[in-house]
Amino acid sequence: MNTTSRITATVVAAAVGTAALAACGGQGGGSADAKTVTLVSHDSFHASKSVLAAFEKESGYKVTVLRGGDAGKAVNQAILSKGNPQGDVFFGIDNTLLSRGLDEGLFSPYEAKGLDKVPAELQLDKGAHRVTPLDYGDTCVNYDRGYFDRHKIAPPKTFDDLLKPQYKGMLLTENPATSSPGLAFQLGTIAKYGEKGWQSYWKKLKANGVEVVDGWDQAYNDRFSGSAAGKGKGDKPLVVSYASSPPAEVLAKKPAPKEAPTGVAAGTCFRQIEFGGLLKGARNEKGGKALLDFLLSKKFQEDVPLKMFVNPARADAAVPEVFTRYGTAIDKPTTLAPAAVTKNREQWIKQWSSLVLK
């Protein structure tokens, strides 16, 4: 999912007009009293009103949601206010930012109820329990099925495929310095080709005509030829987006088509995992723990896919049919250790900028 992941809530907002959560507001400084619990997150956090209302009724706490820009900005703000946090729980620190948050000591350990239902590969802080995995998604190259059908060209499947001459000038990606999916795509190439090979790969990709824009919205909604929002006016049949973008496209179409109008190059995916944590110094620690338990409950987890277009962390949470019918299962996404990302992120972005933008 989002840097922010999420990632993918932006897809929802653009593709299906997801409304902003009603239970938001507040001025920071943690929960004002023991009856209020404050969730701090990025702008892409969304949940059904009925789902949050159920938690409020069951727990007796009123939920306040504070949104703080994209995930990177929200994490930076949490670091600046550590010790006197804006709220009780943080939602939305992903594996590209995780080590930074842990190294800064943002979170108090807490083992949320239901963690035993989360696959081990998502539990990157297993044993310490400073953060709880809550959802995951994959950033991948998407392709316009109609374009490739009309031109009788097979769409690419892997990073290597993108270097082939038949795809020259087709790919649009986002700048990793300004975009979460752009960063995830760069990290995917680093995971695939290693420290010694990724720069050579990007030199070849540049020679094959890759184009760069600042953000996902411009790339997907304005320039991608397969985007419903762009009404087919885009000029690029390949774009860096999400594995969940095809199901999002289908939700906007009635009657539902036999297959999504866009597809996913499954060999180009980088996995992003989002976590929540109890902020150290939380004024309402008890309420924060209750909220974390709720965020990992089946009720919230089963609300996640169609509100933020990511996968629930719980293996036993039901996934809507639109995901299973139109989505692409990514069995072997690339990934990098959070510590490696934290250590090298800025240097990698500078190297990428020097290679690709000059």
Query: Average pLDDT in the 177-196 region?
Result: 94
Residue 32 has what pLDDT? 52
Are both 131 and 278 inside the same structural domain? yes
Return d(Cα 39, Cα 120) in angstroms, integer.
25
- Residue-wise pLDDT for 56-74, tens only, equals 999 999 999 999 877 888 8
Instruction: Answer whether residue 4 is part of any domain.
Output: no
Domain presence at residue 230: yes
Are residue 243 and residue 337 in the same domain, yes or no? Answer: yes
Q: Mark whether 50 and 108 lie in a shared domain.
A: yes
Domain span at residue 199 reads 138-270+330-356
pTM equals 0.84
Q: Is there a single domain that holds both residue 280 and residue 215?
A: no
In a domain, residue 146? The reply is: yes
**Shared domain check, 232 and 257:** yes
Q: Are residues 113 and 237 in the same domain?
A: no
CA pair distance 80, 71, nearest whole angstrom: 14
- Distance CA(306)–CA(12), nearest Å, equals 8
Task: Please tell me whether residues 235 and 341 are part of one structural domain.
Answer: yes
Dist. CA 63–CA 295, nearest whole Å: 12
In a domain, 341, yes or no: yes
Query: Is the domain of 21 the same as that of 133?
Result: yes
pLDDT digits 0-9 by tens, 99-115: 989 999 999 999 999 99
Asked if residue 293 and residue 266 are part of one domain, the reply reads no
- Do 229 and 335 belong together in one domain? yes
Smallest CA-to-CA distance from 161 within 271, 269, 265 is with 265
In the block, residue with structure tokens 């209750």: 290
Question: Within this chain, do residues 120 and 227 fall inside the same structural domain, yes or no?
Answer: no
User: How many domains does one find in the chain?
Assistant: 2
Helix (H) or strand (E) holding 133: strand 132-144
- Does 128 fall in a domain? yes
Q: Which residues fall within 8 angstroms of residue 149, CB to CB, at 6 or more apart?
A: none
Taking Cα atoms as reference points, which of 178, 199, 181 lies closest to residue 268?
Answer: 181
pLDDT at 25: 37
2 lies in some domain: no
CATH number of the domain that residue 174 is part of: 3.40.190.10
Q: 311-312 and 211-213 as β-strands: parallel, antiparallel, unpaired?
A: unpaired
- Give residue-wise pLDDT tens across range 251-277: 867 888 999 999 999 999 999 999 999
Whether 224 and 144 share a structural domain: yes
